[in-house]
A and B are shown apart, each in its own frame.
Chain A
Amino acid sequence: MTLTKDKAALNDWYVVGISTDVTRSAPRRTRLLGQDIRVTRAADGAICVTLTGGEEDGRAARAEEHYGFIWATFGAPNRCIFPLAEAFEPDRRVVTCGTVDVAASGLRLVENFLDMAHFPFVHTDILGALDKPEVEQYQAEIRADVDEVWATNCRFWQPLAAAASKGGQMSHYVYRVVTPFNVLLYKTCPEAPDRFDAIALFIQPVEADRSIAYPLMVVVDSTSTDEDIVMFQQKIFLQDRIILENQRPRTLPLDPRAEIPTRADLSSVAYRRWLKTKALRYGSYEYAEA
């Protein structure tokens, strides 16, 4: 494996580990965009990400820590790591939910995260019910001012919307794709219906068709333990993994003839269009063919 030459992919920030997992005595070896890397922590606590092997063996990548994660970039991103205001609210729980390895493109993971129509079939009796599969009309758009994809006015009936749920609720959702491999949602908080829980899915594209997913919960929940929250999120994501590893191709086809969308896929259609305007190819079927 060698580092990709896809400029759009290189010039972005990616999570490459959980902050608390990397200590002075426990470095981390992993791979990002096809490039092997070493993540180390210095005596003063500073994090360092170094390329290992390949043409640029030994080069240091830019690295920062935010929201409990280690972020790295090989290139020169034209913006900072996106703001996540909720993470700074005093009564929020900010819970990193471990990692899940998935043998599929990170772009497939983002689309699955944006998708409501699968809730009744894949997360039966949790995020959806088989007798309520309808996806009502919602809006999706590319917001040029912030260079993000948003889906708004999303509503879905959920038997068990979160770890803290006591019963079913009509969940309101807002989705926000902040970079091609990082996505957030805001959904009705069961404990405080006037507020929104934030859930993020940060994706480390290991290779074009292999990913590490890092879910992050930023929730108002005074009853669940951290373990309850992590277990709930892991259960959901392991159900999703069955789907993700069985989609063909494992990469995301950008050719509009490859897959047929319907109205419920507005957000996916906007996302694919946005990827094209950014000339992002890493993780797409067209890249795999190149």
Chain B
Amino acid sequence: MPTETYSDHPILPLEDGWHAVALSRDLPAGAPFPVILGGREIVIWRAESGAVRAWVDRCPHRGMRLSLGFVRGDTLSCLYHGWRYRGEGGGCDHIPAHPDLVPPKTITVELYGAAEAAGLVWVRTGEGTDAPAVPDTGLNGAMSVTIDAPAERVKAGLALPEGMAAEVQPVLATRCRVHVTAESDRLKAAIAFAEALRRRFETPDLFAAE
């Protein structure tokens, strides 16, 4: 299980298991994407083969966030010194400052479980190698919105319309991200729903009136 000591944010307790952190369609191959899950800084990225990875967003060498790095094939390299990590297993396989050195096996990034299901990218916290227990809804990614309100409050007040689904990702204590998926003919309505949801939870007088 990754150590999360060095995050820039306080670590919130999370239930062990799978958490949606992005829409699949928002994660193209080659572009590392930083996410915060209950204070944990995580980089998700897609290899050119299509496989999705989730790592602690920190190079073990000098702590640089790997989400500023670059993807080549099924490797992610750190921006700071170009140390290169294999997608499979997260081991370092190249240190440009010493091109003839075979990096010791101990140099490895910290891994989270990562999977795709129901149009979403999922990250696993806690021990376990199970797959996400998510039925394939057949829905399509519509929109992710960041809402400055606690995840539990948003989850409790979702009121989902027909033909849509939503996953609420805790970000910080008072911030969450909602990932909305929808049937293909409901995408525009789903985007409107996501935006309205954000307005509803971020507008103080409306919130007080609830």
List chain A positions with a Cβ less than 8 A from chain B: 111, 115-118, 120-122, 133-135, 242-243, 246-250, 253, 258-264, 285
Contact = CB atoms under 8 A, between A and B. Distances in A.
Contacts of B60: 259-260
Contact of B97 (A133, A248, A259, A285): A133
Nearest to B64: A247
Given A242-B68, A249-B6, A264-B98, 13 more contacts: A118-B81, A121-B82, A135-B98, A247-B62, A247-B63, A247-B65, A253-B6, A258-B63, A259-B62, A262-B61, A262-B98, A263-B97, A263-B98
Contacts of B82: 120-121, 133
A255 to B, nearest CB: 10
Contacts of B63: 247-249, 253, 258-259
B7 A121 contact: no
A259 B96 contact: no
A117 B68 contact: no
Contacts, number: 77
B89 to A, nearest CB: 16
Name which of B8, B62, B98 has the most chain A CB atoms within 10 A of its CB. Answer: B62
B65 A135 contact: no
B189 to A, nearest CB: 38
25 contacts: A111-B62, A115-B81, A116-B97, A117-B81, A118-B80, A121-B96, A122-B79, A135-B97, A242-B68, A243-B80, A247-B62, A247-B64, A247-B65, A248-B6, A248-B8, A248-B63, A249-B63, A253-B6, A253-B63, A259-B63, A260-B60, A260-B107, A261-B61, A262-B101, A263-B97
Interface residues of B, number: 25
B8, B81, B106: residue with the most chain A Cβ atoms closer than 10 Å? B81
Contacts of B58: 248
A8 B7 CA distance: 27
Nearest to A263: B98
B135 interface: no
A258 B5 CA distance: 10
B64 A246 contact: yes
Contact of A134 (B7, B57, B68, B96): B96
Interface string B50-81: 00000001101111110010000000000111
A133 B96 contact: yes
Nearest to B60: A260
Contact of A121 (B80, B99, B107): B80
Nearest to B70: A121
Given A248-B7, A248-B8, A134 B62 contact: no
Nearest to B99: A134
A282 B98 CA distance: 32
Nearest to B108: A260
Interface in B83-100: 95-99
A51 B47 CA distance: 54
Contacts of B65: 246-248
A70 B6 CA distance: 34
Contacts of B81: 115, 117-118, 121, 264
Interface string B91-127: 0000111110100001100000000000000000000
A163 to B, nearest CB: 25
A262 B97 contact: yes
A260 B41 contact: no
A33 to B, nearest CB: 22
A285 B3 CA distance: 15
B43 to A, nearest CB: 11
A250 B63 CA distance: 9
B80 A260 contact: no
Contacts of A264: 81, 97-98
A260 B79 contact: no
Contacts of A262: 61, 95, 97-98, 101
Contacts of A259: 60-63
B98 A246 contact: no
A210 B57 CA distance: 21
Contacts of A248: 6-8, 41, 57-58, 63-65
A126 to B, nearest CB: 16
